[in-house]
Structure 1
Amino acid sequence: MAFGEKLKQERKKNGWSQEELAEKLFVSRQSVSKWENGQNYPSIEIIIKVSDLFSVTIDELLRSDEDLKEKVIEDSRQLAYPTLKYMFDVVFLLGAVFLAIKLGLLMLNKFTPLDVPLYGGSFIWNFGSLILMLVGGIGSGIVKDKYKEE
């Protein structure tokens, strides 16, 4: 049985109108109507509320409708990937900051009588920012492409 049919059956079993169910779920009556007609699906938070309200398992609600199950899986991916992509973006920006610091210090040393040394060795200052920017950019691209595939 599809989610919409199950929702309508449970609603009618309790003698509620779409409006009454909508009030209990804190959504509009139109949302309930679209769910019952299979035009749209609720978020996982609403599915949990429906499960509690009608004393049915989430498993019963999800497994009854393949499209709903796919939507919930897709929603969970959207929550996971932005965090990973954000981490790679931070690594890229860290590399850009190191590059800006190096360039700033080089310009300061060239155009002023100051002689500010670059501590940590030339390899870190010459290649560190490049490596961070490459890892961040490539990692971010891979995560974005993987999300598009799935």
Structure 2
Amino acid sequence: MIFADKLIQLRKKSGWSQEELAQQMHVSRQSVSKWEGAQSVPDLEKMVQLSRLFNVTTDYLLKDEEGEPEPVPGEDRSESVRRVSMEEASAFLEAKKQSAGTVAFATMLCILSPIGLILLGAMSEVPRYGISENVAAGIGMILLLLLIAAAVAMFIISGSRTSAYDFLEKEPFETAYGVTGMVRERKEQFRETYVRNNVIGTCLCVLSVIPLFAGILIDEHNDLLLCGMVCCMLTIISVGTTFFIRGGTVWSSFQQLLQEGDYTPKNKKASGAAGGYWVMIAAIYLACSFLTGRWDLTWIIWVGAAGLYPILLAILRKHAEK
């Protein structure tokens, strides 16, 4: 039996189409077709990759001999690699779609949480409102904590919906026959929505500073007006962020199943190492805000963190390649 026949046999035994095997090997479907048609032979690196993928020895693949595949000593892929069925893949995509709105709204509440504190603090400095500084701080903190608590509850609920699929981020897995094609089709159908959400989110975030500049032009010495404009800016940013998250959450679910983008084995390691980054940023944001009391300024921490995150990921990915 020649290599081409063995490859066809192993691929069909695994339940993969040529396109799905090509995805696993990071080559084109035409390359797999040529291998199976005996028109070309994979190079040594790809041959080793095939032996690992099908859990057979390279000798079995290279030698034109009959016989059953010889498993690689010390490896048992049936135990180490989980296979994702069509039903599991569909359920995962649906769970991520449902959680996208919840996570987006929870993030919006986090961004909006200091607005009450900012406005009440500014109003306490205007005698005609009759609000003392302590009352303003107390009511503002209560509102902030209520919004944060609601957001945390939403994050927990959202996490519980998708907790059964955590293995997609933490463990190696394979997809059953037809899953890759289904996911790619849904991804292409969603592409236009994803691009539109990113465009809207970007435009809103860029335009969010307009209220602040408008307040400065109207009366740069009116602290209450300027604080109101800062609150308008945070509101616009929060709305823009929801577009990013709603589109990004669904898009990332496709990438997880296809093991593309941030979810290739190499990038998953880097993303996992950066997993505590946003927790640390949230802690820094809250600490700085409470210590300084400048909730109208500390939101800049999130902007800086967002700019640094891609750099951190790039460094971690570079390190993962070594």
Q: TM-score range by the shorter chain?
A: 0.3 to 0.5
- The TM-score, its normalising length taken from structure 2, stands at 0.23
Q: Which has the higher contact order (CA 8 A, sep 6+)?
A: 1
- The TM-score, its normalising length taken from structure 1, stands at 0.42
